[in-house]
Each structure stands twice: as structure tokens, then as C-alpha cells.
Structure 1
């Protein structure tokens, strides 16, 4: 039985040492390169007694960053990634929370790190990556590591804007990667195109399956997502055939009509998640790539990534919602009603997850952990922790799960209980709208609709009046140049709410 994620790397370097593992188009690392650098970093950290502790990784998005992650795990420690994209106050809060003694930087980020309130030691990647490997020291640490030891702390803000450090262990990641690989049909012929930041758990979809199957992963430069045609040309150049992207990255391509000029010639698997895929945009992708597999993934960081999947193998009508499907193997996804019962088919309930995918809670925050990592209310007999996602869902008679809305997106307005997601779904159907988001202003008791696209606001209002009951029609409609997104590709509702509160709209 596999008990350590590094077994993926060790098997890969035995099987295909000289095959390309990770590249960003400039830096190219074979599996042998990845192994050598990871072992060197692990040796360095062990020599300096950074064992079984958090190690901050502050580097640009690069294949080298991945080896810093693996090197930290070799030292029996757990990596805590931060990035220049983060506001300085967020980085400070992360440092304050985990209190790391060590930080690994590249030469550029080291200059920023020197200005931080960091009391530990800053190590330059270029200096430590040439450390002579001490396999005896590596093995001595390895013998003490078990599968419930942590390997990373990834910070997520959720809807509150306050960072929470999710702690995940070897067992959770191994089970996740094994199931995800099976669902995506990953093989040695797979060429991933990574879109997500490396400081989020979303990148696990490419990092570890690449090792497990001796595949190849390209870290696509972020700037290309501003130029969809160049992005697709990059994908074609490197023969990328598998992507696991947030919905917003996919809709950028389809809504800006990039397919009129070029199509992803090698793309065979398109996995998506993080937000509801607007049906009209999904259908554009399906029409452009009729032979490709499209897989809707759903899951929270607190459950090690994705927990359910649905293969969208047909076109959808505009009034349909793409299901988020059924649970991964060895994962149970339950719908729990307000009276702590299992929801019946068609009945809504909170999506709750149990199994080895459930992580170890929030770092240094037992109060927050205990509010959502709770005893299974259906099990009164022994200790069993489940994770309450805060998402509302329902199941159809076939057992397919549908995302309805966030628990905190359900409002009471004009005497009616309203799901803001239903308003957004209807807005997203309107021709010319790229994406839409509803924010309820409790102070004024008004529903605000933000959208980006080419349609005039009066036309949006006209369509919504025809599609929705009067009490659900937004009071205020705000066209914006570009929908703000969080780092993990979700609509930044906290920012939109601040626009309302500050009187900027």
C-alpha cells in the first residue's frame, strides 16, 4: 500500500528518467531533474533541522517551485505556498498564522521577502538546489513519516476574505490522485496544460498525476490568458491534450470568439470546476470539440480538491444546469437537511463530505475548524468527522448531484426565499453577457446584479422581467468592464460587495 506521495516521483524516475515532466516553455525539467532537485532541497532542510514543520515557499510560478514542494516533503515537513499575486497583508497573515522558521525564495521574490516581517531564515533556491544529496538522511526521516502526516497548508479565503490554512496529508492526496487519474484517463501520453496558480490546491490535478503516470505538464504563462488566440497557439505548439481549468478560463476563450481563428487541435479532455459553467458557453466548447470528453468536477479545498464528477456528453438546453454528478470512489457526498436528515431526491440539503478526502482542518484555528469539520449527524455511535461545505444541492432520481447555491447566497426578500444563483443562471442565458453575479445588500434590502458583456442594462432588465417573478428581478443592474475574479478563478463577491458598501456603484 502506498503511504507517501513521493513514491509517485520515485517510481517515475525509475520508469522514465529522461522524459519531460514539467515545463513552462522556458524551464524544462525531466523526472530525473525533478528527483535530483527535490532530494537536494530535502537534504538541505534536514541538515538545518527543518523537519516536521511548515516551510514557506515564495517563488514565481515555475517548474522549480514544484521541486521546492517535493523537497520540503522529503524533509518530513509541509510546504506553505505564497505568491506575489497575494496582497502583502495576506502574506503577513499567513506568516503570522504558521510562524515558519524557513522560507525558500527565488532571486526575485527574495527582494520582496526581505521587506516582510519574517523572523525566520530566507534560503535562495539557486543556492540550496545544488546541495549534495544525503540518501541516508532522507531515508532516516522517511522511516518516521506516516500517511496521516501533513504535506501542505494551502490558504483559502472562501466568502469571508479571511485566510484559512487547510492542512492535507499524504493519505488524502494519494486517494484523491488515484481516483482523479482514473476519471480523467491519465496515461503516459497525457500532456497537461496547467492554468491554476501553484499556491492553490487546484494544481494538484496536474502535479501528482504527472508523476503517477509519467505524463507531462506545461505550466501555461499567466499572461497568455489575456490573449486567447495566443493561448491556444501555445497549447497546439506543445500538443496539450488535457486541461483542468476553472470555468472563467474556458469562457474567456469562447466568449471572445477565439475559436473563429484557431482551435485546440490536440485537446481531448476538458475538466472544469469552481463555478457553474454557463450553458451557452459550454455548448460552444462542445460544438468546437465534438470528440473531446467534458467533465464537470466539484469539491472544496477542505476535501483535498474535487469530490464529485459528471461527464457532460451532450449539449444542454439553456434552462438546464450541468450536474456535478456522483462521488469519487471511497468518498461519500451526502445532502443533509436542516433537521439533520438525508435529503430525499429533489429535496435540497447542505452538501457534506465524508471519507479519507476530508482534510485535517484549519491550521492554528480550532474554533473555525470545529464549526465545519463536525461529527456526522447520521452516526450517533462513534467518532466520525465530516466536512460541511456550506453549499446547497439536490439529487435527481438517478443520484446525480446538482449545485443549487451557496448557503450564504440564499436570501429572504419581499417575503420570499430566493436563491441568488437562479437569478444569475437566467442572466447568463442572455445573449451578449459573459458572466453575471448577484449581491444582496442587506442594508437597503436590494438585489444587485453585476455583469460583463456587450448587452445594454435595459435589455438585461427586460429579459429578466420576462423570465423571473417580480420579487426576483434585480433592483439595480451594474454593467462592469470585467468581472473580478479571486485567485482560484471564482467571482470575487467580496470585492463586488465592497463596491456597494462604499457607494462606488
Structure 2
């Protein structure tokens, strides 16, 4: 089975049932199925064939979901991108995986054409425009295309993540990788056609895979939460009460905001049957009252990098009063095998004392990616997550920290090297080091600069420089100027020292203390 066949089967069973509710329109399974066929034929007319990559650079919508399905029905792979990406970053992705056809808006199409990408062909999500527009799809048949053959090992989609070399890297996920996770979730949650899934995560974030395809597999409905509302707590709580979501999946930060500023816990009769969270640790002081308030709801902490989607899980049934650390990431899921390997030595690797050996979590199994685009395939080799964990007496795992310098902000994985590479293109910045300070909702990106200019670049100028080159979640929150960077004995940038400095208050002139 492939991802497009999930919708085809649900449409055959319950064509009148609601499949997806978007900010633009609501589609039944029958409508989604027919629209996906029209899109597939339209893309075929633009030259898309089996094995190609098709970009998706547009806001979250039911039309975008239909486009994903249409792309899959040609045996092609879709590449979702942040709609707020600067065009420079989108161009990097388009060139990297050699995308010739893009589903986008008219204004974005003009921006790319003016930027030198004349070869691109477009399907516009608007009803009119100089390119093939959405209204033009009515000229294509809604009949199913000739079956291209079910190849579970074929590339289904590419998710671009932050790269340590300064450029984004594409994580290649096959239909088999995705289905191993989706089918496991379907069984774990006992999904039925009566369920109502929320889709909080953007499509370029791997959390969205559960929302869409686990709902479709069960013949349930999924409601798309627009990006503008993703961290608007009052609006989110209103949406929960109106849509009566039975399955919610998001980063903990969103749920904490809903509790603290949205009044979530003021409502006695919340609809959640299953509540899942991932992407970052859930502080126990916030998780405990939520767990106690929703006594009849199943809670799951899911863990896994983009390269494996989810590879472990822990069901949170009871939180002891004495517990202060986040709940474990749990045991293997989705048919994967996980174990600890001795961590490679690194200057900045966290050191932990106490019971239980700490090692790097390794993953092997059906969810492990095909590989990174343009690099040698993974070929069923174990994937080293870079996360340090400790195995608990019950066989589950507890997350300790990172082996390398990777950061996470609100569940988004990012490499400081990519931000640093962008900042070093600024003519007034000689050296730079980026670290994260705080955690959860208080997490912020701090850039330490060595500048040869007087005065050094301001925070506003640095933010503007970032915004022209990086996605919004990589824009630094704070800038501090140093006379020189701290170094380790072997001359490397001492990130541990920078993290310590980031926890201190900056001096009145904006420079780092000390």
C-alpha cells in the first residue's frame, strides 16, 4: 500500500464522510479522491512522472492536502516547504532536489521567476492566474489514473531540516517508512471513522504525518489549524471546543500556552480521547495538572528525529508526586529496534552521573529513512540519533541531551552551523556562535558576535539579515558582542562557555558579561 491508496480505499468505503476541513474549504473523501485525480492529470500535463519531486510552497489548506495526494498518484514525491520561507531558502531546496514543478501561489511564482528560475512550471492554488490555476483543474478528468504499481519502498516525500554545513538537508521518507508509523498509530489509538483529528503541525514538520494519514486510514476527519493560529492559545481552545477534537498531537509548548493563556483547564468537559505530544520535553510542572484534569484521556509521549519520524513512545498513566524530571521517551515503537551505543567523545557532550549507563540512541527498522537527498542511501543501516539516553530498569529510555550541537526550539530541530553560516555573510561580522538559552516557551536563540565594525550590527539588522536567508524559527532572538570567542584547549569554539554566558544577563551596552 502507498499513501495515496489510503484515501482511495476510504473514499470507496465512505465517499460522503468528511475527510479534511481546511481554512479554505471542506472536502469529503469522495471529493478529495476526485480532486486528487484531477491534480494528478494536470501535473502529468506539466511533465511530472514517476520518481519526480514536486514542490509544495503554500499555506496550509485542503487544496494542499489534495495536491499531496495527486502527486503521490503519479508515483512522484512531494516536498513541502515553509510558506514563510524567504525565496532564497526555497530556491536552495528547489535546486537541491531538482524540482521542476511547484504548487504555489501566483505571487510566489512571480518571485521565483524574477529570481532566475524560469524553468519552473506551476500549479497555482488560486482560481485565476497566468499559470495553470486551480479553476483550470475542472478541465481534467476525475477518473482514476492507470495504476502505477504499489511500491512501498519508493520515495513518498522529502522533509528539509537544518544542516550543519550551512545548507538545509532533505530527509527522504518512503511510503513504507511512513506507513510503518501510521499503521502503528492507527492500532495504538484504535482510530475509527468517528474520530476528529486536529492538525496543529505545519506540513513541512513530521508531526503532521500522523494527523493526516492516521485520520485517513481510519476514515476519520482532520481539521487543519492555520499557521497563524498555531500559537494563539485562546483561538486554539475555542477551536478545540467547537470542533470537539478526539485526537490532539502537538509540541508541548502549544499545550502549555493553551493552559496558561487560553484557559484550557477551565473547561471540565474536554473532548480529547487521546493526547499526544513530541518534539521537546514536556516540563513535569505543566504536564501534571493536564494529566490530572483529563483523567479519561490517554496521554502519549512520542519520540523520534525526522529521520525516523517516531521510534519510541511512553504512555503517561500516572505522574508520581515526587517526580520532577520529564517523563521517559519509553520503549521501541512501529516495529523498530532501539538500543544505546557508547557516545563518541565531544567537547560539548552532556556528562551525567548516577545509575544507568548513558549512550547514544540507535534505531533500526521500518521507520528509518531512505537517506538524505543527494547522499549515499541509508540501506537498512542503524541510524545514530545523536541523542544521549539512559536505559531505565523497566527497559524504557530516558532522554538526557544531545551528543552534538543541535538545538531545538519549540520542537523544531536546527543546526547552529546553518544560522552561523548565514550570519557570517554579513560584512560586519567576523566570528559568530549561536546557542539556545532557556527551554520550552522561554527558549531563545542567542548569537554571540565578534565584529570589526564600530558600532557592531544591531539586533534589528541581524534579524533582518537572518530573515532574508533563513526560515522564521532560525531568526535569532538576542545578539551579544564579544571581543573574542571562547575556545577549548584544542582551539575549537567553546559552546559550553557560550551557553553559560547566555544564561547570564547582558550588560547595559548589550555586550556579554565578563
Paired with 2:80 and 2:380, the residues of 1 have a C-alpha distance of 30
Shift of 1:263: 5.9
The structure 1 residue matched to 2:141, chosen from 133, 145, 161, is: 133
Paired with 1:135 and 1:15, the residues of 2 have a C-alpha distance of 17
Partner secondary structure for residue 399 of structure 1: coil
In structure 2, do the counterparts of structure 1 residues 191 and 444 end up closer, same or farther at CA, with 3 Å as the change threshold? closer
Task: Specify the alignment match of 1:191 in structure 2.
Answer: 196
The structure 1 residue matched to 2:369, chosen from 345, 359, 366, is: 359
In structure 2, do the counterparts of structure 1 residues 96 and 263 end up closer, same or farther at CA, with 3 Å as the change threshold? farther
Partner secondary structure for residue 372 of structure 2: coil
Task: Specify the alignment match of 1:151 in structure 2.
Answer: 156
Task: Specify the alignment match of 1:394 in structure 2.
Answer: 390
Paired with 2:380 and 2:75, the residues of 1 have a C-alpha distance of 27
Q: How does 1:314-325 map to 2 (within 5 A)?
A: 314-316=318-320, 317-325=322-330
Q: How does 1:436-455 map to 2 (within 5 A)?
A: 449-450=437-438
Task: Specify the alignment match of 1:495 in structure 2.
Answer: 476
Paired with 1:446 and 1:205, the residues of 2 have a C-alpha distance of 32
The structure 1 residue matched to 2:317, chosen from 313, 318, 322, is: 313
Task: Specify the alignment match of 1:117 in structure 2.
Answer: 116
Task: Specify the alignment match of 2:29 in structure 1.
Answer: 31
Please state if 1:349 is matched with 2:359: yes
Q: How does 1:289-438 map to 2 (within 5 A)?
A: 289-303=294-308, 305-316=309-320, 317-338=322-343, 346-366=356-376, 373=378, 384-408=380-404
Shift of 1:235: 1.2
Partner secondary structure for residue 130 of structure 1: helix
Deviations 1:406-455 (A, max 9, x none): 11259xxxxxxxxx99xx9xxxxxxxxxxxxxx9x9x999998446989x
CA contact (8 A) 1:338 1:349 kept: yes
Paired with 1:396 and 1:241, the residues of 2 have a C-alpha distance of 31
Paired with 1:270 and 1:190, the residues of 2 have a C-alpha distance of 13
In structure 2, do the counterparts of structure 1 residues 133 and 269 end up closer, same or farther at CA, with 3 Å as the change threshold? same
Partner secondary structure for residue 317 of structure 2: coil
Task: Specify the alignment match of 1:218 in structure 2.
Answer: 223
Q: Runs of 5+ in structure 2 lacking a partner? A: 126-133, 346-354, 410-415, 421-430, 443-466, 484-509
CA contact (8 A) 1:309 1:327 kept: yes
In structure 2, do the counterparts of structure 1 residues 361 and 496 end up closer, same or farther at CA, with 3 Å as the change threshold? farther
Shift of 1:67: 0.6
In structure 2, do the counterparts of structure 1 residues 403 and 224 end up closer, same or farther at CA, with 3 Å as the change threshold? same
Partner secondary structure for residue 294 of structure 1: strand
Task: Specify the alignment match of 1:475 in structure 2.
Answer: none
Paired with 1:496 and 1:409, the residues of 2 have a C-alpha distance of 18
Paired with 2:84 and 2:288, the residues of 1 have a C-alpha distance of 32
Q: How does 1:242-321 map to 2 (within 5 A)?
A: 242-256=247-261, 258-259=263-264, 261-262=266-267, 265-303=270-308, 305-316=309-320, 317-321=322-326
CA contact (8 A) 1:193 1:218 kept: yes
Paired with 1:407 and 1:494, the residues of 2 have a C-alpha distance of 23
In structure 2, do the counterparts of structure 1 residues 209 and 226 end up closer, same or farther at CA, with 3 Å as the change threshold? closer
**C-alpha RMSD of matched pairs (Å):** 3.4
Paired with 1:4 and 1:448, the residues of 2 have a C-alpha distance of 39
Shift of 1:222: 2.9
In structure 2, do the counterparts of structure 1 residues 121 and 313 end up closer, same or farther at CA, with 3 Å as the change threshold? same
How many residues end up aligned between the 2 structures? 421
CA contact (8 A) 1:325 1:401 kept: yes
Instruction: State the TM-score, normalizing by the size of structure 2.
Output: 0.74
CA contact (8 A) 2:44 2:74 kept: yes
Instruction: State the TM-score, normalizing by the size of structure 1.
Output: 0.75
The structure whose residues are more often helix, as a share, is 1
Partner secondary structure for residue 382 of structure 2: strand
Partner secondary structure for residue 204 of structure 1: helix
Paired with 1:54 and 1:115, the residues of 2 have a C-alpha distance of 22
